[in-house]
C-alpha cells in the first residue's frame, strides 16, 4: 500500500478496499484469548482442510481478536450466515467444512444451546443480542494484524477529519460535549483533562496510553489492543493533536504478549502508510508512538507511578499536585488516558458528540466494557450502555448462575472496587450510582459470586492482592493492608476474636483517608463493602466459629447423609486420609478426627450425599 500524502489518498484507498470482492464464505476464528484452548490449531486445521478440498478461492479464514463469549472457547463464526460455533476443536473442522461450507448445513452439536434447542445464529444468542457493541464493533470481525481490514471498516476516518477540518480547540469542545469520562476508574471528564494539558505551559507535551490493566479477571484493555489496535492508535492521534503533543507512549504490561505483538504490528503498518510520523496525511502534524513495557506491578496503573516507570525509575507514586497535566513525564505537561477511553474518541468525532451522548445516563455517557467472570454461565467480554443494571448483565447477558444456585453478590471494580449485593441487582451501572453503594466502576472487572461464596474469604483474597502489590512508600498502605490481611486470615482460620471486626473497620477507614495514592485509598473497599452488607457473616466466623458458605476449611466439617448415600464407595476410594469407612451398598461415615477437610469426598459424590456441617 502506498503512503497516504493526504486525506483524499486515505479515502481513495478505503473505497478501493471496500470495493474488492470478498470470499463467498468467511470463517472467523478467535485467535487471541481462545489460544489457550487450541485456537491456533483450529485455524491451521481450517487452512489445511480448505486447501485439501480446493476451496481457497471460495473460503477465507480470518484470525480475529476476542469474539466475546469466552465460556464457548474456541469460538468460530461462519459468514455470511453468521453461524456461531463454540467449543470447537481441530477435530471438528472437517465436519464444519463438509457440512456447513460445502452443503450449507448446520452442525447443531456445536451451536449455542438454549432450553428450546440449538441457537445457530450469533445475533440470536442472548449474550450478543442484549449487548451494544460500539467500541468492540471490530473485535472478533477483523484480522487485527492487517491494516487493510481496519481501513475497510473505517479506521482513521475520524483522525483524517480532525487533521483536515478541525482545530485542537474544536476537538476538545466536541469531546467535552460528548460527556466522555475516563474509563480507567476515576471517571474524570476526558475533555477537561485535555483542556488542562493543552493550556499547560512547557514543551514538549506527552501523551500516554495506560494499558497497565492489572485487576484479577479483567481483560478489557488487553482485548482492545489485541483485537482492534488501530482504533486505539487513532484515538491517540486525535488526543495528541488536541493537546499539542508530538510524542506518545503505550505503557503495557509484559504479561500481554499478544497485545504487544499486535500493537507493534499496527504501529509499523501505520508508519509505512504515513498515518504516524512526519506531517500525517499532509497536515503538518508530526506524531509518533513508542511502546514501553511494564513489569506487571499493579501500582503502575496509578498515573504518577506509571510515569516513574516510563522514566526508568522504580514504579512508585508521588503526591499530587502538581498533576501530570502540569508536570508529568520528565517534568513536562502529560496527558494520560486508558485504552478504552481512547478507543471511544474516534466514534465521537465520526458520529458527533450528540449521537455519542444519546447512549448512557445523564451523568455518564456512552457504553462500558466489562470482563464478566466468576460464577456465571456466560463468561466473557461484555459491552453495554452506561446505566445498564447488574441484573441485565448477569442474567440477560451472562445467563445467570450455574447449577441453579442463587446470586449472592458481584465484586465490581476489581481489588479497588466493592461488593454489590442482591438488593442492588437493579442498580444502574454508572460511576455515581456505584459510589453510593460503596463500589467503583474501576476499569470494568465484574466477578460474580453465588451462595457458596464466602465474602470474608473474598475480602481476604483481594486484601492479599493489594498488600502484595503495595509499593510500600507510605505507611498507611504498607503496614495497614498487612495488618488487615493478618486479621482477615486469622478470622478465616477460626482464630477470630472479639474486637476484630471493629479493628478491621477502623483500619480500613484509616488506610482510605491517609494513603498516598489510589491503590491505598481504594484498597479497603472490599473490606468496607462486605462489612456493610454481610456483617452477620463476619460475626458468624468470629463468634460462632462457623463459615455460613462452607468455604473456610478451619470452620467446617464434612458429614454423610445416610438417606442419600448409596454405598458406592467412590468417596472412600478418593479420600487421601482414609477417613471414610463403610460397607458396599450401605451408608458410609466420615471419621472427623482424621479428616483433613480437603473436600474431595464432596466433589466425588454423584448423589450429593456428602454435606458441609
The tens digit of pLDDT for each residue in 513-528 reads 999 999 999 999 999 9
Please report the pLDDT score of residue 391 as a whole number: 97
Domain ranges of the chain: 23-122, 155-357, 367-450, 455-543, 557-612
Q: Are 75 and 101 in contact (CB under 8 A)?
A: no
Q: Give the pLDDT confidence score for residue 358 in this predicted structure.
A: 97
pLDDT at residue 160 in the model:
98
What is the rounded CA–CA span in Å between residue 546 and residue 553? 10
Contact 228, 144 (CB under 8 A): yes
Q: What is the pLDDT of residues 396-423, one digit of tens each?
A: 999 999 989 999 999 998 898 999 999 9
CATH architecture classification, 455-543: Up-down Bundle (1.20)
- How far apart, in whole angstroms, are the C-alpha atoms of residue 473 and residue 528? 23
Fold of 23-122: Glutaredoxin (3.40.30)
Residue-level length of the chain: 613
CA distances from 6 to 152, 156, 268, 274 (A): 17, 12, 19, 9
Residues 6+ apart with CB under 8 A from 453: 375, 408, 409, 549, 551
Contact 71, 126 (CB under 8 A): no
Cell 479515502 maps to which residue?
Answer: 11
219 and 33 in contact (C-beta within 8 Å)? yes
Residue-wise burial string across 60-73, b where 16 or more C-beta atoms lie within 10 A, e elsewhere: bbbbbbbbbbbbbb
Of the candidates 70, 92, 228, 250, which has an alpha carbon nearest to the alpha carbon of residue 151? 228
| pLDDT at residue 217, rounded to an integer | 84
Describe the chain by its helix, strand, coil percentages, rounded to 5: 45, 15, 40
What Rg do the C-alpha atoms of the chain give, in angstroms? Answer: 27
Residue 402: phi and psi, rounded to 5, are -65, 155
Half-sphere exposure of 604 (CA within 13 A, CB side): 17
The dihedral sign for the CA sequence 360, 366, 368, 369? positive
Question: Which residue ranges in the chain fall short of pLDDT 70?
Answer: none
Q: Is residue 613 classed exposed, middle or buried when 0-12, 13-18 and 19+ CB atoms within 10 A define those classes?
A: exposed
Q: What is the CATH number of domain 155-357?
A: 3.40.50.11540
Cβ neighbours of 85 (radius 10 Å)? 25
CB 520 within 8 A of CB 543: no
**Can you name the residues that pair with 290 across neighbouring β-strands?**
249
Closest by alpha carbon to 398, among 450, 339, 472?
Answer: 450
Closest to 84 (Cα-Cα) out of 329, 378, 361, 514: 378
CATH class of this structure's domain 367-450? alpha beta
pLDDT given for residue 186 in this prediction: 77
**Overall CATH class of domain 557-612:** alpha beta
Q: How much is the pLDDT for 499?
A: 96
Q: Give the pTM.
A: 0.94
**Residue 77: CA atoms inside 13 Å, Cβ hemisphere, count?**
24
- Residues 6 or more apart in contact with residue 129 via CB below 8 angstroms: 123
What is the pLDDT, as a whole number, of residue 56? 94
Cβ distance 543 to 495 under 8 Å?
Answer: no
Amino acid at each position: 500500500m502506498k503512503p497516504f500524502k493526504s486525506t483524499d489518498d486515505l479515502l481513495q484507498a478505503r473505497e478501493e478496499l471496500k470495493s474488492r470482492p470478498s470470499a463467498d464464505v468467511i470463517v472467523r476464528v478467535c485467535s487471541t484469548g481462545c489460544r489457550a484452548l487450541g485456537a491456533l490449531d483450529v485455524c491451521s486445521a481450517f487452512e489445511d482442510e480448505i486447501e485439501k478440498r480446493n476451496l481457497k478461492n471460495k473460503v477465507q479464514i480470518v484470525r480475529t481478536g476476542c469474539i466475546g463469549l469466552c465460556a464457548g472457547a474456541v469460538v468460530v463464526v461462519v459468514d455470511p450466515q453468521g453461524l456461531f460455533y463454540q467449543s470447537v476443536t481441530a477435530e471438528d473442522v472437517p465436519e464444519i467444512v463438509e457440512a456447513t461450507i460445502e452443503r450449507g448445513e448446520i452442525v447443531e452439536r456445536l451451536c449455542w444451546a438454549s432450553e428450546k434447542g440449538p441457537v445457530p445464529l450469533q445475533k440470536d444468542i442472548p449474550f450478543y443480542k442484549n449487548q451494544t457493541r460500539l467500541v468492540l464493533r471490530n473485535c472478533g470481525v477483523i484480522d487485527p494484524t492487517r491494516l487493510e481490514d481496519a481501513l475497510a471498516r473505517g479506521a482513521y476516518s475520524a483522525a483524517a477529519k480532525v487533521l483536515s477540518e478541525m482545530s485542537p480547540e474544536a476537538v476538545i469542545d466536541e469531546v467535552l460535549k460528548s460527556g466522555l469520562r475516563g474509563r480507567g476508574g476515576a471517571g474524570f471528564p476526558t475533555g477537561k483533562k485535555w483542556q488542562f494539558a493543552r493550556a499547560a505551559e512547557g514543551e514538549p507535551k506527552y501523551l500516554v496510553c495506560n494499558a497497565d490493566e492489572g485487576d484479577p479477571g479483567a481483560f478489557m484493555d488487553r482485548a482492545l489492543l489485541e483485537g482492534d489496535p488501530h482504533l486505539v492508535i487513532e484515538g491517540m492521534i486525535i488526543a495528541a493533536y488536541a493537546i499539542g503533543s508530538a510524542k506518545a507512549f503505550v505503557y503495557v504490561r509484559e504479561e500481554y504478549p499478544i497485545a504487544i505483538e499486535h500493537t507493534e504490528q499496527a504501529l509499523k503498518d501505520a508508519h509505512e502508510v504515513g498515518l504516524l510520523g512526519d506531517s500525517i496525511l499532509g497536515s503538518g502534524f508530526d506524531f509518533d508512538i513508542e511502546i514501553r513495557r511494564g513489569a506487571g506491578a499493579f501500582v503502575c496503573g496509578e498515573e504518577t507511578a506509571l510515569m516513574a516507570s516510563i522514566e526508568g525509575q522504580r514504579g512508585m507514586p508521588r503526591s499530587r499536585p502538581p498533576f501530570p497535566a502540569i508536570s508529568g513525564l520528565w517534568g513536562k505537561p502529560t496527558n494520560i488516558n486508558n485504552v478504552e477511553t481512547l478507543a471511544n474518541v474516534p466514534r465521537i468525532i465520526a458520529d458527533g458528540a450528540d449521537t455519542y451522548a444519546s447512549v448512557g445516563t445523564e451523568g455518564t455517557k456512552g457504553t462500558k466494557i466489562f470482563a464478566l467472570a466468576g460464577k456465571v454461565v456466560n463468561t466473557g467480554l461484555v459491552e453495554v450502555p452506561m446505566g445498564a443494571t447488574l441484573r441485565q448483565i448477569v442474567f440477560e447477558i451472562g445467563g445467570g448462575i450455574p447449577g441453579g444456585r442463587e446470586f449472592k453478590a458481584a465484586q465490581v471494580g476489581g481489588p479497588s472496587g466493592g461488593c454489590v449485593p442482591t438488593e442492588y441487582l437493579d442498580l444502574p451501572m454508572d460511576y455515581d450510582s456505584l459510589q453510593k453503594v460503596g463500589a467503583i466502576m474501576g476499569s470494568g472487572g465484574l466477578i460474580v459470586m453465588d451462595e457458596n461464596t464466602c465474602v470474608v474469604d473474598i475480602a481476604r483474597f483481594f486484601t492479599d492482592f493489594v498488600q502484595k502489590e503495595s509499593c510500600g512508600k507510605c505507611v498507611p498502605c504498607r503496614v495497614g493492608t498487612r495488618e488487615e490481611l493478618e486479621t482477615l486470615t486469622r478470622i478465616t482460620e477460626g482464630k477470630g476474636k472479639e474486637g476484630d471486626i471493629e479493628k478491621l473497620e477502623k483500619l480500613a477507614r484509616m488506610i482510605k483517608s491517609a494513603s498516598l495514592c489510589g491503590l491505598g485509598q481504594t484498597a479497603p473497599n472490599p473490606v468496607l463493602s462486605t462489612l456493610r452488607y454481610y456483617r452477620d457473616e463476619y460475626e458468624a466466623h468470629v463468634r460462632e466459629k462457623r463459615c455460613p458458605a462452607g468455604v473456610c476449611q478451619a470452620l467446617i466439617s464434612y458429614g454423610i447423609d445416610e438417606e442419600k448415600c448409596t454405598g458406592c464407595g467412590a468417596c472412600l476410594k478418593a479420600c487421601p486420609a482414609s477417613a471414610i469407612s463403610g460397607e458396599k451398598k450401605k451408608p458410609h461415615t466420615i471419621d472427623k478426627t482424621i479428616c483433613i477437610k480437603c473436600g474431595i469426598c464432596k466433589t466425588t459424590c454423584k448423589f450429593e450425599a456428602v454435606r458441609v456441617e
